[in-house]
Structure 1
Amino acid sequence: MNILVIGNGGREHALAWKMRQSPLCQKIYVAPGNAGTASVAENVSIGVDDFARLGQFCIDKAIDLVVVGPEGPLVNGIRDFFENDAALKNILMVGPGKIGAQLEGSKDYSKQFMLRNNIPTAKARTFAAGDLVQALDYISECKPPIVLKADGLAGGKGVVISLSQGEAKAVIKEMLVNKRFGAASSKVLIEEFLNGIELSVFVLTDGKDYVLLPEAKDYKRIGDGDTGPNTGGMGAVSPVIFADSVFMSKIEERIVKPTIDGLLREKIDYKGFIFVGIMNVGGNPFVIEYNARMGDPETQAVMPRIKSDLVDLLAACGKGQLAGKNLEVHDDFAVTVALVSGGYPGEYETGKVISGLDHQGDSIVFHAGTTKHEDDVITHGGRVLAISGSGNSLEQARARAYKTASGIDWEGLYYRKDIGQDLMNYKG
């Protein structure tokens, strides 16, 4: 098969890396890609939202399968564009249409979907800019901590947890009135705080049947000990010690199956990934959010653990033929550490020369915000690299990831030193 992966991050490098291993993979392209994807695929200089050029490229290169990495093109309707074009509609695509992608594109839409389908989630109310007075009154009735979520896409940074009513009122004004997250915060959800530990669950579905991928736990905050502002993700671990068979069966019965049934009942033709953000509250799973694609950096911890032929699964998804498909998984642990630019998630500089990439050791170095300049690989984003170490224990996987990370350098490099540490000490 000729395959096009859309995106330029660590998630897309990990997907392309895994698909490259399949005997079904003839030629693989990544648009626009990065310095790392160029080692496993051919990069194509086309933006993720340039649907017309992406479509023409698929025709020119006889692409059989398109895998959409990031949420933007999905929310903006890339599947709809392809399906409405006679020359493109028969190309297999992994990624939902515009309506299905609203599970991620609108926090309010996804919350209402959960409520309609009796999926356990936190209580919440949605307010628009004209509802500021009502929003402030509602906050006065809420028990801190109070969670405020921008309704739209905010690059993983649109969630603020306020520790007091006063702080929450100041934040809601920033979001609704001052548009702290731009158009994404034209509506804001005020949500009850769920006290527990998070888990990311990944579902590949053709809208009728599904396969569960390995679960992961990601680390969103910039600082050790989960301190500082939210980022797009500073690391991930898979498997997750508290996600035993009992807890995972609760997730499947209470969340995954009702989600797929809800999509069917509401006639949403969904072919792609569903990333379910779960909070484990005293042994019971609650949905924090849905995403319409794989997670980043979780994909970089999940892909090394998959034993099955990923291309075979993705093609079956695109054809609507996932029934009877199984996923084989390695027993190994994987730990992913994100290496970021100094100043991230705030302002940061790019164009820094990266050294040490020739000595990867026992780990895989997935590129995210990188590009080539002459013979050098340079930084080209906030999250620059994701180092994934594997081992027969969490401790060994951590040691391998951090050993490789310690050998890489550029001006301003930063990474958390405690990814997976909480799970090594987890007592339940």
Structure 2
Amino acid sequence: MNILLIGSGGRESAFAYKISQSPLASQLFIAPGNAGTGAYGKNIDIKATDFEALGSFALEHHIELVVVGPEEPLVKGIHDFFLENEQLRNIPVIGPTAEGAQLEGSKDFSKQFMQRHGIPTAASRSFTKDTLEEGLQYLETRSLPIVLKADGLAAGKGVLICSDLSEAKAELRAMLAEAKFGQASNKVVIEDFLKGIELSVFVLTDGKDYKILPSAKDYKRIGEGDTGLNTGGMGSVSPVPFADAAFLSKVENQIIKPTIDGLRKDNIHYKGFIFIGLMNDNGNPSVVEYNVRMGDPETESVLIRIESDFVDLLLGVAEENLASKTFHVSEKTAATVMLVSGGYPGKYENGKVISGLENVKESLLFHAGTALINEEVQTAGGRVLAVTALKDNLLEALQQATADAGRIYFEGKNFRRDIGFDLINY
């Protein structure tokens, strides 16, 4: 079958790799793709949010399945665009409609959803510019640290953790009165701080049934020892050693089942991935956030552990018979180390030539911010390459991925050498 994959990051590189392994995939197109995705299919120069062009391409090339990688086209309604077009509506889209995508597109929507369906999460209230004074008063009643979340999509930068009351008040004013995050902070969720250790659990659902994908933990801070600024993710590991069977059973019964049931009760027909960001506080899970797609760089560690035919699973979602699909996960451990541009997550330069890719033989390379220019692979983003190793245990996977990260060169290259080493003793 002909498949169209939408997106251009490391997550989409991992999707392309996994889709290309399936005998069910005859042709794979990636829009727009990057310098690495061309190894698994054909890159198409169409933006992920250009729905008209994507629809025309799907018709012209007899696309039979559309897989949406990033959140922006989902929140903007790409699934709805296909459903509302008579010629496109029979092409299955993996990813929720705009209504379901509000689980990620609106923090206020997701908090109300969790409260309505009894899903454990931090206490919170939402405020707008008109209720700023009430928000400032509310801050005085809460314990510190406190979390401020821009309601809308803010490119991963709309969450602030404030340890000081005056800082929290200043940031709330900046978000609401001064539009610190643009329209994304027209509304702000003030949320109690959750204690514990974070992890992610991923679910694939056809709207009725679900498969729980491997758990993962990512590392957001730029500096070793989890120091410095937040990034889009500097690496990940899967599985998560502290997420044992007892904990994951709680996650399934207290969070996953109520989430799927809640979507159905709210008449939101949801087909696709649900990424549940969790806090594990002494074995008790709480939801930090929902995302309506796979994570990045978690996908790079999660997908290579799935031994089942990935396209067959996606067809199970499209045809609403996911429960009948076989699903096997490798017992091995995956570790991913991200190579990033010098200066990231601040100002950085693109166009740096990447060399040494051929030196990596034991790990998989998933391109993220790369471009092929004059037959040279060059940097084209802050997060450039994901180096992923799959080994028998965590230490071996971490050592391999870290060693291979050192075998690649571009000017200004930076990567963390301590990804996952905090988990060795679990």
**Which residue number corresponds to residue 269 of structure 2?**
269
Aligned partner of residue 294 in structure 1, secondary structure: coil
Instruction: Give the Cα–Cα distance (whole angstroms) in 2 for the partners of residues 310 and 398 of structure 1.
Output: 25
**Which residue number corresponds to residue 386 of structure 2?**
386
Instruction: Give the Cα–Cα distance (whole angstroms) in 1 for the partners of residues 425 and 149 of structure 2.
Output: 30
Q: 1:234-268 CA distances to partner (integer Å, 9 max, x unpaired)?
A: 11100000111100000000000000000111110
Instruction: Give the Cα–Cα distance (whole angstroms) in 2 for the partners of residues 135 and 416 of structure 1.
Output: 38
With the length of structure 2 as denominator, give the TM-score of the two structures: 0.99
Once the 2 structures are TM-superposed, how far is the Cα of residue 425 of structure 1 from its aligned partner? 3.0
Single out whichever of 273-282 and 178-187 deviates more from structure 2. 178-187
Instruction: Give the Cα–Cα distance (whole angstroms) in 2 for the partners of residues 326 and 244 of structure 1.
Output: 22
**Which residue number corresponds to residue 370 of structure 2?**
370
The AA in structure 2 aligned to 1:119 is I
Instruction: Give the Cα–Cα distance (whole angstroms) in 2 for the partners of residues 406 and 271 of structure 1.
Output: 39
- Report if the CA contact (8 A) 1:211-1:325 is conserved: no
**Which residue number corresponds to residue 123 of structure 1?**
123
Matches within 5 A, 1:15-414: 15-414=15-414
Aligned partner of residue 247 in structure 2, secondary structure: helix
- Report if the CA contact (8 A) 1:213-1:327 is conserved: no
Q: 1:6-47 CA distances to partner (integer Å, 9 max, x unpaired)?
A: 000000000010010001010000000000001111000000
- Report if the CA contact (8 A) 1:142-1:165 is conserved: no
- Report if the CA contact (8 A) 1:120-1:285 is conserved: yes
Once the 2 structures are TM-superposed, how far is the Cα of residue 324 of structure 1 from its aligned partner? 2.6
Aligned partner of residue 347 in structure 2, secondary structure: coil
Aligned partner of residue 56 in structure 1, secondary structure: helix
Once the 2 structures are TM-superposed, how far is the Cα of residue 81 of structure 1 from its aligned partner? 0.4
Q: 1:116-140 CA distances to partner (integer Å, 9 max, x unpaired)?
A: 0000000011111222211111111
Aligned partner of residue 323 in structure 1, secondary structure: helix
What are the ranges of 5 or more consecutive residues in structure 2 without an aligned counterpart? none
What fraction of aligned residue pairs are identical, expressed as a percent? 58
Once the 2 structures are TM-superposed, how far is the Cα of residue 326 of structure 1 from its aligned partner? 3.4
- Report if the CA contact (8 A) 1:212-1:327 is conserved: no
Aligned partner of residue 204 in structure 1, secondary structure: strand
Aligned partner of residue 119 in structure 1, secondary structure: coil
**Aligned residues, how many?**
426
Instruction: Give the Cα–Cα distance (whole angstroms) in 2 for the partners of residues 317 and 108 of structure 1.
Output: 28
Instruction: Give the Cα–Cα distance (whole angstroms) in 2 for the partners of residues 383 and 270 of structure 1.
Output: 30
**Which residue number corresponds to residue 418 of structure 1?**
418
Instruction: Give the Cα–Cα distance (whole angstroms) in 2 for the partners of residues 275 and 356 of structure 1.
Output: 33
Once the 2 structures are TM-superposed, how far is the Cα of residue 212 of structure 1 from its aligned partner? 0.7
Once the 2 structures are TM-superposed, how far is the Cα of residue 229 of structure 1 from its aligned partner? 2.0
Instruction: Give the Cα–Cα distance (whole angstroms) in 2 for the partners of residues 52 and 298 of structure 1.
Output: 30
Q: 1:205-257 CA distances to partner (integer Å, 9 max, x unpaired)?
A: 01110011111001111111112222111111000001111000000000000
Once the 2 structures are TM-superposed, how far is the Cα of residue 359 of structure 1 from its aligned partner? 1.3
With the length of structure 1 as denominator, give the TM-score of the two structures: 0.98
- Report if the CA contact (8 A) 2:312-2:325 is conserved: no
Q: 1:345-373 CA distances to partner (integer Å, 9 max, x unpaired)?
A: 12111111111111112100100000011
Instruction: Give the Cα–Cα distance (whole angstroms) in 1 for the partners of residues 302 and 170 of structure 2.
Output: 38
Instruction: Give the Cα–Cα distance (whole angstroms) in 2 for the partners of residues 10 and 178 of structure 1.
Output: 34
The AA in structure 1 aligned to 2:359 is H
Aligned partner of residue 207 in structure 2, secondary structure: coil
Runs (4+) of structure 1 exceeding 3 A deviation are none
Instruction: Give the Cα–Cα distance (whole angstroms) in 1 for the partners of residues 32 and 216 of structure 2.
Output: 27
Instruction: Give the Cα–Cα distance (whole angstroms) in 1 for the partners of residues 269 and 416 of structure 2.
Output: 40
Aligned partner of residue 100 in structure 1, secondary structure: helix
Once the 2 structures are TM-superposed, how far is the Cα of residue 167 of structure 1 from its aligned partner? 1.5
Once the 2 structures are TM-superposed, how far is the Cα of residue 417 of structure 1 from its aligned partner? 1.5
The AA in structure 2 aligned to 1:126 is S
The AA in structure 2 aligned to 1:310 is F
- Report if the CA contact (8 A) 2:9-2:367 is conserved: yes
Once the 2 structures are TM-superposed, how far is the Cα of residue 390 of structure 1 from its aligned partner? 1.3
Once the 2 structures are TM-superposed, how far is the Cα of residue 185 of structure 1 from its aligned partner? 1.2
What are the ranges of 5 or more consecutive residues in structure 1 without an aligned counterpart? none
Instruction: Give the Cα–Cα distance (whole angstroms) in 2 for the partners of residues 74 and 33 of structure 1.
Output: 17
Instruction: Give the Cα–Cα distance (whole angstroms) in 2 for the partners of residues 177 and 235 of structure 1.
Output: 35
- Report if the CA contact (8 A) 1:211-1:326 is conserved: no
Instruction: Give the Cα–Cα distance (whole angstroms) in 1 for the partners of residues 138 and 417 of structure 2.
Output: 39
Instruction: Give the Cα–Cα distance (whole angstroms) in 1 for the partners of residues 99 and 272 of structure 2.
Output: 13
The AA in structure 2 aligned to 1:172 is L
The AA in structure 2 aligned to 1:183 is Q
Instruction: Give the Cα–Cα distance (whole angstroms) in 1 for the partners of residues 174 and 412 of structure 2.
Output: 30
Instruction: Give the Cα–Cα distance (whole angstroms) in 1 for the partners of residues 389 and 59 of structure 2.
Output: 38
Instruction: Give the Cα–Cα distance (whole angstroms) in 1 for the partners of residues 326 and 149 of structure 2.
Output: 36
Single out whichever of 164-173 and 194-203 deviates more from structure 2. 164-173
Aligned partner of residue 422 in structure 1, secondary structure: helix
Aligned partner of residue 198 in structure 1, secondary structure: strand
Instruction: Give the Cα–Cα distance (whole angstroms) in 2 for the partners of residues 157 and 327 of structure 1.
Output: 35
Single out whichever of 349-358 and 174-183 deviates more from structure 2. 174-183
The AA in structure 1 aligned to 2:337 is V
Q: 1:275-323 CA distances to partner (integer Å, 9 max, x unpaired)?
A: 0001001110000000000000000001111100000000110111112
The AA in structure 2 aligned to 1:338 is M
